[in-house]
Amino acid sequence: MKRTILSAAGVICFFAFTANLQGEETAEGEFPRDLLGDIEQLKEEVEDADLDEEEHPEFDELQPDIPVYIDGQEQNYGGAPFWAGGEIFLPVAAAVQALNEYSDVQEALGVNHPFEDERPYDVLDEEGWVQQVDNRESVALRNVEHFGVQAYWFDDPARLHLETGSLLGFSGVPVGATRASAEDAFNADWKTGYGKAADEIGFHGGMNQFNYTNRFGEERSGDVPDVQIEIKGETVTYLIASDEDYATSKNVAVGDDLFEARRMYGSSYEEFEAVGKTVRVYDVREGSIWFIADDRNEIERIGLWHRHVAPLFTTEN
């Protein structure tokens, strides 16, 4: 399946540079004013899209073939979740896969976990949590959550999301946090946002050189901060890291190869080229993770956004 990006210049520039949001003229390395207009239009289109998803408080009735996602990646084997005896069960293969992913994340972060010396299946079996339900080897969802995996149910379409941790955050500040919590963590220098795209943009840490190719094929260079924060309605709507000290929840950081992103986040992603960079985007439950890499596939910037990437793409046969 071929994927075509809509407004590619606007999308990449949303995450590519630090903007001089106050200036009237564009200097080398600053946000081109015409592309700021593209970004504003792009963000309005996404904000207006019907993307809101309500978390379902009850697991009422599950239909066959309901997909299971682990950290945004659809699991195409092991069977669908089902309802039995007043609670949700997972086929044992799906439960083990979720716990394998969880253990990989804990190891990447250097955190102790129950599966250091034993396989997840063996731990579940020893606890007596592997059960035969309807002639299927299954595990109650609550027993998977016991280890720290988080579960979320969504309607329309019905799907179950399992997460190994908070996927959209740096330094303990997730997308969706308050401005006050971002200020406490980053002590940022705040500037007024451009147009309606943001109320404020925060800049934290030192500056890093970022080279890119503009729409005319000309090589350009600008400075970007260690962390850039967008505030809208007193809420963090995106975070961008340009320094290796700010790793994702799966310990992928600036300076890593794109292969590391694939190893930790999976093979289901959108990827495109813009301004001389490779941009790889993973949709997760609450938004999207953007890895921006150079021509050697070395990650230069990581963006965490509160919106999904799906509305920005069209599909061609």
> If you average pLDDT over every residue of the chain, what do you get?
79
- The pLDDT, as a whole number, for residue 63 is 54
At 105-137, the pLDDT tens digits run: 888 888 888 888 889 999 999 999 999 988 889
Residues 140, 87 contacting (CB under 8 angstroms): yes
Block residue for tokens 């400075």: 223
**Across residues 141-165, what is the average pLDDT?**
89
**Across residues 3-19, what is the average pLDDT?**
46
pLDDT grade, residue 192 (50/70/90)?
confident
Q: Which residue has the higher pLDDT, 136 or 34?
A: 136
Residues of the chain with pLDDT > 90, as a percent, come to 41
Q: Is the pLDDT of residue 176 over 60?
A: yes
Lowest-confidence pick of 37-46, 176-185, 204-213: 37-46
Q: Is the pLDDT of residue 166 over 80?
A: yes
- The pLDDT, as a whole number, for residue 134 is 81
Separation of alpha carbons 78 and 253, rounded Å: 32
Separation of alpha carbons 278 and 293, rounded Å: 5
Residues 290, 303 contacting (CB under 8 angstroms): yes
CB neighbour list of residue 68: distance below 8 Å, 6 or more residues apart: 74, 75, 78, 80, 81, 90, 94, 159, 160, 162
Q: What type of residue is 214?
A: N
Q: Is the pLDDT of residue 98 over 70?
A: yes
Q: Is the pLDDT of residue 12 over 80?
A: no
Q: Which residue has the higher pLDDT, 51 or 143?
A: 143
In Å, how far are 61, 210, 274, 280 from 215, measured between CA atoms? 51, 16, 9, 19
Separation of alpha carbons 200 and 191, rounded Å: 5
- The pLDDT, as a whole number, for residue 123 is 94
Burial label, 156 (beta-carbon count in 10 A; 0-12, 13-18, 19+): exposed
**Across residues 77-96, what is the average pLDDT?**
88
Q: Is the pLDDT of residue 258 over 70?
A: yes
Q: Is the pLDDT of residue 181 over 50?
A: yes
- The pLDDT, as a whole number, for residue 194 is 57
- The pLDDT, as a whole number, for residue 19 is 42
- The pLDDT, as a whole number, for residue 61 is 44
- The pLDDT, as a whole number, for residue 108 is 83
β-strand partners of 178: 235
Q: Is the pLDDT of residue 150 over 90?
A: yes
In Å, how far are 143, 178, 287, 296 from 182, measured between CA atoms? 34, 6, 18, 32
Separation of alpha carbons 80 and 74, rounded Å: 11
First to last CA, the chain: 6
What is the residue-wise DSSP string for 134-169? TTEEEEEHHHHHTTT-EEEEETTTTEEEEESS--SE
